[in-house]
Amino acid sequence: MEHTDLFMLIYIFALACFVGFELIAKVPPTLHTPLMSGSNAISGITIVGAIIATGIEALNLATILGIVAIIFATTNVVGGYLVTDRMLKMFKKK
Amino acid sequence: MEMYKDILVNTVYLIASFLFIFGIKMLSSPTKARKGNFYSAVGMFLAVVVTLLNEHILTYEYILIGIVIGSAIGSVLALKVEMTAMPQMVGLLNGFGGGASALVGLTEYFQILDPTVTRVEEFTIKMAITIALSIIIGGITFTGSLVAFGKLQGIVSGNVIKFPLQHPLNLLLLVGVFGLMVVGAIYPTDQTIFLVILGISLLLGILLVIPIGGADMPVAISLLNSYSGIAASATGFVIDNNMLIIAGALVGASGIILTNIMCKAMNRSLLNVVMGGWGQNAAAEASSGTKKEVIVKSIDSEEAAMIFSAASSVMVIPGYGMAVAQAQHAVKELMDVLNKKGCDVKFAIHPVAGRMPGHMNILLAESNVPYEKLYALEDINEEFTNTDISLIIGANDVVNPAARNNPASPIYGMPILNADHSKTVIIIKRSMAAGYAGIDNELFYNQNTLMYFGDAKEAINKLNNELKNLS
C-alpha cells in the first residue's frame, strides 16, 4: 500500500517538473527577475506544512520550531508576491 | 462531515495548484504578468485559509503569531528594497523558503518521536528519508542563500574564496550527509543522526556558496531558487501533500532552466561555476603573456556630446556598473534627450549582465524605459554593424572580443555582444581595471573605441547637460 502511495507522489513530482520546464522556457529574459521572485513566493507553499505541523500540539520544542517555520514561510510568501508585483507594475509599453 | 471537509480541502488544493500553473504561464508576457502573479497569490491565500480548517489543528494562536510576524517582515522587505538590491532580496527570500522546509521536516520528526502523541508506528523508511531530504535540501538552501545575500550586500567578501582541500571536503560532506540519511532510515528514532544531518547541511550551504565569485551570482541565485522549490517538494513528500509537490516542482524547474541559461551565456558548465569560477592563475597568465604598451583614447563630456549629437542610432550596453552607480535614471534621461534629436536608442542586454537573471531589465523598467526597447543578445547582435554608437556602461567581459578570437582567453567561446562591430564604441568606466574574469579587454584599445572615464551616473548626467546645451 505504502509503495503505491509513494509512487503516486513521485509521478506527480515528475509530471509537475515537465509542466514547469514547458512553461518557464517561454518566459522572456526581460521577465527573468520577476519570474524568480514570483516562483520564489510559490516555494513558500511550505507554509501549509508549517501550519499543520504547528497547530496540532501544545507548546513544546516542535511547536516552537513550527512557529519559526511559519514566520520564515510567510516572509517568503508575502515578501515574494509583493516585491514581484512592485516590479511588474514598472513594466510599461511606450 | 469530516469527509466533506476533506473533499473541500483537497478541491481547494487542486484549485491552488492550477492557479500557480496559470500564474507562471502568464509570466511569459509583460502585459499579463502582473495578473498572473496575482492569480498565483490568490492560490496561495486559498491554500492557507483552507489549511486552517484542518481538523487536527488544536490551537490557532501560535499560527496567527507566526503569520503576523512573517507578513510584517515580508511587507517591509518588499516595499523598502531598492531595485538595485533585488538580487540580495531574492537571495534572502530563497533562504527563508529553504529554512522553512528544513524546519517543517524537523518539526514533523520531533512530533513523531513525541511519546505523548504515539505516532512512532508512522516511522516508515519513506518518512525517515523524506524528512532527511527536507532537512538536507532546506538546510543547504538556508545557509547557502544567507551567504549569497551576504556577498551581494557586501557583508561577506564577494571574491572567490578558496582554501586547500576545499572540493574534497565538500564532496566528503555531501557523501556523508546522504550516507547518514540511509543510516537514519535504518535507525529512525536516533535523534543524534538527524541533528548531525541538519548540522552538516547547514555547513554545506556555507561551503558550497563561499567559492562562488560576485559575477557568478546569477548562477548561484538561480540554483538556490531551484533548491528552495525542491525543498518544498520534499516537504510535500513528508506530509503527503500533492499541492506542495506540484508547487515545489514548478519552482525547481524554473530555477534549473534559469541556471542553464546563465551557464550557457558564460559558456561554462555548472560544475565549473560551482567549483569556484575562472581559475585565477589561468586568467593572470592569459593577460600577462599579451601585455603590451597601448594607448587608450579618452574623451571628456563635451567631446562625447559632440559625437552623440551626430549619431542617429545608439545601442546602450548596461552592466553591473550601472546598478552600482544607480545610473538607470540618468540613462533614461539620455535616451529622452537623444530621442528628441531624432536618434534611435536601443538597449542590448547580455543574459549575465548584473547579479541575477533580468537584473538590468528591472532597473531600466524602474526608470521607465519601455520594455520593447530592451533586446536580448540573440535578437540584437546582428544590428551592431548598423549602429553609430555603442555606449557601454559598467559592462566589461560581456563585450570582450577575446571571447570570439583568442582561444587562450579563459572566456573564449562565451557569447558576447558585438559592440566592436559598431562605428564608434564609447565606454563609461571608472578606471582601466580588468573585469570580473581578471582579463584585459582588447576592446579598450580598438581604433574606434573612446574611453569616457568617470562614475556612470555623474558621467551621463554631464553628457546630458552638454547635449541639452548644444541644442
Task: Assess whether pLDDT exceeds 70 at residue B89.
Answer: yes
CB A93 to CB B31 under 8 A?
Answer: yes
Task: Assess whether pLDDT exceeds 60 at residue B285.
Answer: no
Nearest CA of chain B to the CA of A14: how many Å?
Answer: 8
Structural domain spans, chain B: 81-274, 294-470
Report the chain B residue with the minimal C-alpha distance to residue A37: B90
Q: Distance between CA atoms of A20 and B323, rounded to whole angstroms?
A: 30
Fold of B294-470: Rossmann fold (3.40.50)
Q: In residues, how long is chain B? A: 471
Query: pLDDT band at B280, cuts 50/70/90?
Result: very low
- Helical packing angle, B191-209 and B166-186, nearest 10°: 160
Residue with cell 484549485: B15
CB B75 to CB A72 under 8 A?
Answer: no
Q: What is the pLDDT of residues B303-318, one digit of tens each?
A: 999 999 999 999 999 9
DSSP readout, B320-360? Answer: HHHHHTT-HHHHHHHHHHHHHTT-EEEEEE-TTSSSSTTHH
Which residues 32-61 in chain A show a CB within 8 A of chain B?
Answer: 32-61
- Asked whether the beta carbons of B228 and B253 are under 8 A apart, the reply is no
Range in A5-9, A85-89, B191-195, B376-380 the model is least confident about: A5-9
Choose among B399, B405, B445, B452: nearest CA to B421.
B399
- Helical packing angle, A61-90 and B61-80, nearest 10°: 30
Residue A1 forms contact with B (CB below 8 Å): no
The sign of the CA dihedral B460, B462, B467, B468 is positive
Dihedral (C-alpha) B157, B159, B161, B162: value to the nearest 10 degrees? -160
- Asked whether the beta carbons of B133 and B237 are under 8 A apart, the reply is yes
- Asked whether the beta carbons of B330 and B301 are under 8 A apart, the reply is no
Residue B294: all three cell numbers together: 597601448
A4 contact residues in B (CB cutoff 8 A) = none
Q: How many CB pairs under 8 A join A and B?
A: 392
Q: Which residue among A24, A30, A81 sits closest to B253, beta carbon to beta carbon?
A: A24
Q: What is the pLDDT of residues B32-71, one digit of tens each?
A: 999 999 999 999 999 999 999 877 787 888 899 999 999 9
CB B236 to CB A9 under 8 A?
Answer: yes
Residue with cell 505541523: A53
Range in B220-224, B281-285, B299-303 the model is least confident about: B281-285
Q: What is the pLDDT of residues B260-278, one digit of tens each?
A: 999 998 888 888 887 765 5
Q: Distance between CA atoms of A64 and B231, rounded to whole angstroms?
A: 20
Q: Which residue among B37, B51, B252 sits closest to A85, beta carbon to beta carbon?
A: B37
pLDDT at B165: 84
Q: Distance between CA atoms of B412 and B417, rounded to whole angstroms?
A: 13
Q: Distance between CA atoms of B226 and B233, rounded to whole angstroms?
A: 11
DSSP readout, B44-93? Answer: HHHHHHHHTT-TT----HHHHHHHHHHHHHHHHHHHH--GGGHHHHHHHH
Residue A19 forms contact with B (CB below 8 Å): yes
Q: Which residue among A32, A42, A72 sits closest to B96, beta carbon to beta carbon?
A: A72
**Quick one: what percent of chain B has pLDDT higher than 70?**
93
For B189, other C-beta atoms within 10 Å of its C-beta total 13
Residues of B catalogued as catalytic: 397
Burial class, B426, CB count within 10 angstroms (exposed 0-12 / middle 13-18 / buried 19+): buried
Range in B150-164, B184-198, B231-245 the model is least confident about: B150-164
CB A39 to CB B254 under 8 A?
Answer: yes
Q: Identity (one letter) of the amino acid at A32?
A: H
Residue B373: all three cell numbers together: 526597447
Q: Distance between CA atoms of B338 and B341, rounded to whole angstroms?
A: 5
A32 contact residues in B (CB cutoff 8 A) = 258, 261, 356-358, 361
Residue B388: all three cell numbers together: 553609430
CB B357 to CB A82 under 8 A?
Answer: no
CB A88 to CB B34 under 8 A?
Answer: yes
Q: What is the pLDDT of residues B161-181, one digit of tens each?
A: 778 888 889 999 999 999 999
Q: Which residue among A36, A61, A90 sits closest to B110, beta carbon to beta carbon?
A: A61
pLDDT at B294: 65
Q: What is the pLDDT of residues B218-250, one digit of tens each?
A: 889 999 999 999 999 999 999 999 999 999 999
Residue A88 forms contact with B (CB below 8 Å): yes
Give the containing element (helix H, strand E) for B306. helix B301-309
Reading across the β-sheet that carries B424-429, which strands appear in turn?
A: B374-376, B344-349, B313-318, B389-393, B424-429, B449-453
CB A33 to CB B358 under 8 A?
Answer: yes
Q: What is the distance between the terminal CA atoms of chain A, rounded to a whole angstrom?
A: 59
Half-sphere exposure of B266 (CA within 13 A, CB side): 26
Range in A21-35, B158-172, B174-188, B379-393 the model is least confident about: B158-172
Kindly list the distances between the CA atom of residue A20 and the CA atoms of B21, B81, B240, B257, in Å, as whole numbers in the listed order: 8, 28, 20, 9
Residue A30 forms contact with B (CB below 8 Å): yes
Kindly list the distances between the CA atom of residue B348 and the CA atoms of A30, B251, B356, B379, B393, in Å, as whole numbers in the listed order: 11, 28, 16, 9, 11
Nearest CA of chain A to the CA of B198: how many Å?
Answer: 13
Q: Distance between CA atoms of B157 and B139, rounded to whole angstroms?
A: 22
Burial class, B318, CB count within 10 angstroms (exposed 0-12 / middle 13-18 / buried 19+): buried
- Asked whether the beta carbons of B365 and B371 are under 8 A apart, the reply is yes
Nearest CA of chain A to the CA of B55: how many Å?
Answer: 9
